[in-house]
Structure 1
Amino acid sequence: MLLDTPICDFGWKAPDFMLKDANDKSYSLHDNLGEKGLLIAFICNHCPYVQQVAKRLAEDTKQLMDEGVNVLAIMSNDYEYVEEDSPQNMKKFAKLHDFAFPYLVDENQSVGKEYGAVCTPDFFGFSAKGELQYRGRLDDAGMGDASSRTPELLNAMRLIAKTGNGPKEQYPSMGCSIKWRE
């Protein structure tokens, strides 16, 4: 089911969490909220929207990380229902797309629910204070030709890193619904 993300709730405080990647290494929001902010991307492996933007996401986040913005990706889907999203397949997907950021498993789906994530991809851009400043799309290319795209997420995170505030005009991300357990 295709869904759009809600409008950014500017200033919403990011709840802390502790999640592991597919190699069993732990990560928390607190330890990753850097001086220039943090991008959290709710993604999965099987969603055609994520598959379409994965290369661009990897490139944009590498630039952000080089500029001091931290990045985490979280997979909240029920991977017992969607085997393609299993931790083993997360490792393969991350390697295939050359992800430089940690890709975390939200085993009990509590983080996805606490954050109000609705689809994949769903991007949350936080200031250094842990306040939400961006809840929009990766770029204006979507599923189409990305040769002349505007990298909205990259630009927003750079603005947040510099000023602590996100852009006032934001366009919702759209993608597949998160697969919640019954």
Structure 2
Amino acid sequence: MAVSTPVCDFGAPIRDFALPDPRGRLHRLEDLRGAKGTLVMFICNHCPYVQAVIDRIVRDARELQTLGIGVVAISSNDVASYPEDSPAHMAEEALRHHFTFPYLYDEDQSVARDYSAECTPDFFGYNAEGKLQYRGRLDASGRKPGPETARRELFEAMKEIAETGHGPRDQIPSMGCSIKWKTT
């Protein structure tokens, strides 16, 4: 079932976290933040929406990092129900697509809850002060990639944030698979 993100809550503070990568190495938000802003992405391995744009995500992340934006991806899905999202598969995904950013595992789903993440992909773009400025989509892609000439909405927004500290007022929500919450 496709889920859309809510509109951007401009100025909401970035939420602190410390999460492991698939090898168990702990990464703290304070070490991942960029001088010009931070992009926190909730993704996973199995979602067709993520798979449709994963190479574009990697391309944009790489370019944003050169602009001083810190980038991190987090997988929060229940791996008991979705084993393809397990840390071992996360490591393979990062290697296969040449991630230039950490891909972290939110096993207890607390970080996804703190961020009010709704779907994969869900993008949170913060300025250098850690204030939310973007919660929109990557581009016009859906379950299938959009045209190669699609406007790079996330990239453009994060570039604007790096340059001015502010994101665009008009944003189109991201859409994707719901976060796969654990049942208690």
| TM interval, short-chain normalised | over 0.9
Aligned to 2:31: 31
Give the Å deviation of 1:69.
Answer: 0.8
SS at structure 2 position matched to 1:14: coil
SS at structure 2 position matched to 1:19: strand
Partners of 2:61 and 2:122 lie apart in 1 by: 14
User: Is 2:126 the counterpart of 1:126?
Assistant: yes
1:44·1:75 contact (CA, 8 Å) conserved in 2?
Answer: yes
Aligned to 1:181: 182
1:47·1:175 contact (CA, 8 Å) conserved in 2?
Answer: yes
SS at structure 2 position matched to 1:104: strand
Listed one character per residue, the Cα deviations across residues 99-157 of structure 1 (whole Å, up to 9, x for unaligned) are 11100000100000010000000000001111100000001233244321100000000
1:156·1:166 contact (CA, 8 Å) conserved in 2?
Answer: yes
Aligned to 1:54: 54
Where do residues 53-92 of structure 1 align in structure 2 (5 Å cutoff)? 53-92=53-92
Give me the TM-score of the superposition, normalised by structure 1: 0.97
2:5·2:118 contact (CA, 8 Å) conserved in 1?
Answer: yes
2:158·2:167 contact (CA, 8 Å) conserved in 1?
Answer: yes
Give the Å deviation of 1:97.
Answer: 1.4
Partners of 2:87 and 2:38 lie apart in 1 by: 23
User: Is 2:99 the counterpart of 1:117?
Assistant: no
Partners of 2:132 and 2:11 lie apart in 1 by: 5
Name the count of aligned residue pairs: 182
Give the Å deviation of 1:33.
Answer: 2.0
Aligned to 2:166: 165
Moved more, 144-153 or 158-167: 144-153
Aligned to 2:105: 105
User: Is 2:119 the counterpart of 1:93?
Assistant: no
Give the Å deviation of 1:7.
Answer: 0.1
- Cα RMSD (Å): 0.9
Moved more, 27-36 or 38-47: 27-36
Partners of 1:19 and 1:125 lie apart in 2 by: 19
Partners of 2:45 and 2:147 lie apart in 1 by: 20
SS at structure 2 position matched to 1:54: helix
Partners of 1:180 and 1:118 lie apart in 2 by: 10
2:140·2:146 contact (CA, 8 Å) conserved in 1?
Answer: no
Partners of 2:26 and 2:112 lie apart in 1 by: 17
Aligned to 2:141: 141
Q: For residue 117 of structure 2, what is the amino acid of its counterpart?
A: A
% identical aligned pairs = 52
| Structure 1, unaligned runs of 5 or more | none
1:141·1:150 contact (CA, 8 Å) conserved in 2?
Answer: no
Partners of 2:125 and 2:24 lie apart in 1 by: 25
